[in-house]
Chains A and B, each alone.
Chain A
Amino acid sequence: MAASALASAETGNPGAGDFGHALAQRERRFAAALLAPAFLALLATTTFPLIFLVWTSTYRMNLAMPFMNGFVGFENYRMLLIDERFWSSLLISLVYTGTTVALQVAIGLALALLVMDMKRGQGWFRLIAILPVVLSPAVVGMIWRTFMLAPDFGIVDFLAINAGLGSQNWLGDPTLAMVSVIAIHTWQWTPFAFMVLLASLASLPEDIYEAARLDRATAWQRFRRITLPLLRPAIVMVVIMRTMVALTAFAAIFTVTGGGPGTATEILNLYAYRKSFIELSIGYGAALAVALLIVTIVISGVLFALRRAK
């Protein structure tokens, strides 16, 4: 590519303006050549599979009945709209996302405010707080499932018994199982919200608070009228990032409950996985994955719009 650029420069009129133009073109081509491998790799690993997924979702592709396979157009989507389990898993996904994100922001913010006023040991606290984030969600799931939540043997159950609540079937009861997976996700990811909010809190200008104090604003007023508005961009950012991750969460729920008991914690992602890889109904599974993609895009779009508003 560089050689052809050179050749074209040689054949052209060697005027000064032309030379500058040729140089700029050469530079652009060189840049394109440098970018190409990464771009192609990205295309091959993200864009192509995505298009393939959408294409698959318009086919009937069921390994259990290969003789029935073929193009079906929007049939998979029509089935999806009348599939009760799709709607229930979508609802579970939304509840899961909504509650985990709200809890992460609320707890993260509270912790950040608390730690801001710590005179000593802040560094240690931050270090310890970040630990859950670096663990693999699958490992977190395993730990919670066996060490923490196992009835009669787990730590959480031990605490519950001592607190007079009695032994609970944490992962065997539909409601408790949902509460448990929400708690696990919140436990793992609150430190992320905490770190981001702590960093933003540290960067807030001290003089506004001083002025507020001179005006005898109460602590609550200072929080409501100064801290929250100033933190808004950071909070919105945390909400967007956490929402996108929570909507596509998989590993922790997969290892802790596998979507059970029954379908009580079966998020949309898990349902798409089961349809595709356990039931081997790959076309329909792809349609479910596309539906999840659309939901994620729509929700992120709304959140981004909210961020720009005001």
Chain B
Amino acid sequence: MTSFTPTRRTLLKTGTAAAALATFAPAVLRQAVAQGADLAPYKSAKIDWQQTKGETITVAVIPASYFENLIALAPQFTELTGIDVRFEKIPPAQIRQKSVIDLTSKTGTYATHAADPMYYALYAANKWVEPLDTYLNDKSLTDTAWFNFDDIIPAWRSANGINGKLYGMPYDGEVTIQVYRKDLYDAKGLKAADTLETYVSNAAALNAPNDRVWGAALRGLAGAGQNMYIYPSIFRQFGGDWMKGGKLTVNGPEAEAALAWYVDLMRKYAPTAAANWNWPDIADAFSQGTIASYIDAHSSASVINNPQKSKIIGKVAYARWPKGPSGRRTTSIWNWGFPINAALSEKKKKATWLFIQWAASAETQARTAHRFAGPTKRSGVNRTSIWKDPDYIKLMNGFGPNFVEATMDALQHDTDVDWRPRVPQWPAIGDTMATAIQSALSGQATVKAALDDAQRRIEPMMRG
């Protein structure tokens, strides 16, 4: 999932989960999977998995279940290749900074790391990471037929490429969809919104703060991966174009309309506290029954369907983003991908590629998802074929009606490579926009003033 600033609650949650996993789950699972590991599906690939035997690589990931599952399977990889993998878990709020520091200092600490797709432009401009095409096309390193690169979800592949070159291999991803309370909607005779306009009117119809039910919530917390994760969809749906006439533009009539829509919805129909909420807070509030609908990552479905915490299981349904005035729906193309650190030795690069190939392969994706032995299965697999696998669909449909359909439709029809401006200056632009969006939301500046100010600040960043 996208980055979040850890609140105490989420810290505790991930902390305990990680601690619980760290103490016994991996030990138990590791033994179980390492002993009973069937490596035949991997060995059918026509490459020498053992070619860099004895290497050790360090991989930075975030403490999330989709990576925990991979870590649990790592002994299989070591058995298959003779490569030792050390994992370092870094909270999402810090992983970008830590990797950038590692990459600039060229120490090669992290052979690969869970990378934010928006950072590849920066990485590529500095030549910090290797183009992966070389590895994909090398017959001694990749069995093209076995790996079947084209099976990986196209939107994520394009999100991780710059000028047609791939820099990061998608491992786990997400799309943003509408999540709503079917029971509340049915009671008022409402349907999932098809347009942004209807989304607001639905929220208005269900908003009853005195009964502790609010109409809707979107991410309000400032941050390139928080409010600047949800706003770009709205901006694109209002017909916005980041690169108007080849120049990065964040203001103008479409931007104003989009930000005004967001501010209006948040001020009128979201809890006041939502101005500082990230997705876990929204999902928590929704699972307590206080929010009628939200638009966020499809993977938040596992939080709102957690039987220990959720009060609304069985009352949830899903739909694609409502259409904007431009007639377009734009979802997130977020995914965690694995690049190869350019500061590594040739042999380590090859070892890292073998790891990436293993992690992104259909077999490992399945083994960490519906075929995973532990309690949490992944919901963001990178393979189109798995999204069509009946076992996987059965598992996903447990989240509620229309989940698989909404997610698949979003993945196939609503993605858009230019969802956010893909330029090396993204970290600065993302932060500037996040601040502008929050200034408008908090009333520190008007919508127009906030956007014009952001434009003024962004122009010199692009000029250099």
Interface residues of A (CB under 8 A from B): 62-68, 85, 142-143, 145-147, 150-153, 167, 169, 171-174, 258-264, 274, 277-281
Contacts and interface: CB of A to CB of B under 8 A. Distances in A.
Contact of B427 (A67, A146, A278): A278
Contact of A68 (B426, B428, B440, B464): B464
A63 B100 contact: yes
A262 B464 contact: no
B448 to A, nearest CB: 14
**Shortest Cβ-Cβ A-B pairs, 7 listed:** A262-B439, A261-B442, A279-B428, A172-B275, A262-B444, A151-B273, A146-B8
B interface, over-half SS: helix
B385 interface: no
Given A260-B435, A274-B431, A280-B100, A65 B8 contact: no
A64 B271 contact: no
A264 B431 contact: no
Contacts of A153: 273
7 contacts: A63-B100, A64-B426, A151-B273, A169-B275, A172-B276, A261-B439, A263-B435
A62 B464 CA distance: 9
B435 A281 contact: no
Contacts of A174: 442-444
B438 interface: yes
B162 to A, nearest CB: 14
B431 A142 contact: no
Q: Which of A67, A152, A153 has the most CB of B within 10 A?
A: A152
A156 to B, nearest CB: 13
A53 B323 CA distance: 50
Nearest to A177: B442
B97 interface: yes
B104 interface: yes
A172 B273 contact: yes
B417 to A, nearest CB: 20
B435 A167 contact: no
A63 B272 contact: no
A280 B271 contact: no
A173 B443 CA distance: 8
Which of A66, A151, A172, A274 is the most central at the interface, judged by chain B CB atoms within 10 Å of its CB?
A172
Given A63-B126, A64-B423, A261-B222, 19 more contacts: A68-B464, A85-B457, A143-B8, A151-B271, A152-B271, A152-B272, A152-B273, A167-B272, A172-B273, A172-B276, A172-B442, A260-B222, A260-B435, A262-B445, A274-B431, A278-B428, A280-B427, A281-B428, A281-B461
Nearest to B125: A66
A66 B126 contact: yes
Interface in B225-264: none
A150 B427 CA distance: 28
Interface in B422-438: 423-428, 431-432, 435-436, 438
B425 A261 contact: no
Given A152-B271, A172-B442, A174-B444, A64 B8 contact: no
Given A174-B443, A261-B438, A264-B444, A65 B431 contact: no
Contacts of A64: 122, 125, 423-428, 461
B344 to A, nearest CB: 20
A65 B222 contact: no
B141 interface: no
Interface string B77-111: 00000000000000000000100100010000000
Contacts of A63: 100, 104, 122, 126
Contacts of A143: 8
Contacts of A146: 7-9
Interface in B200-226: 220, 222-224
A260 B428 CA distance: 16
B9 A65 contact: no
Given A62-B464, A64-B424, A258 B100 contact: no
B275 A261 contact: yes
B439 A263 contact: yes
Interface in B1-57: 5, 7-9, 11
A153 B277 CA distance: 13
Nearest to B450: A262
A153 B7 CA distance: 14
B110 to A, nearest CB: 17
B6 to A, nearest CB: 9
B353 to A, nearest CB: 25
B97 to A, nearest CB: 6
Contact of A142 (B8, B125, B426): B8
A146 B8 CA distance: 7
A65 B425 contact: yes
Nearest to A176: B442
- In the complex, which of the residues A259, A263, A281 has the most CB atoms of chain B within 10 Å of its own CB atom? A263
Interface in B266-302: 271-273, 275-276
B444 A150 contact: no
A280 B428 contact: yes
A295 B427 CA distance: 28
A261 B104 CA distance: 31
B321 to A, nearest CB: 26
Contacts of B441: 172, 261
A258 B464 contact: no
B271 A258 contact: no
Nearest to B462: A65
A274 B429 CA distance: 12
A262 B276 contact: no
Nearest to A277: B97
Nearest to A157: B273
Contacts of B220: 172
Nearest to B441: A261
A310 B435 CA distance: 47
Contacts of B464: 62, 65, 68
A279 B100 CA distance: 11
B147 to A, nearest CB: 33
B8 A145 contact: yes
A128 B445 CA distance: 42
**Which of A142, A174, A258, A281 has most B Cβ within 10 Å?**
A258
Nearest to A261: B442
A158 to B, nearest CB: 13
B431 A279 contact: yes
Contacts of A62: 464
Contacts of B423: 64
A149 to B, nearest CB: 10
Nearest to A69: B464
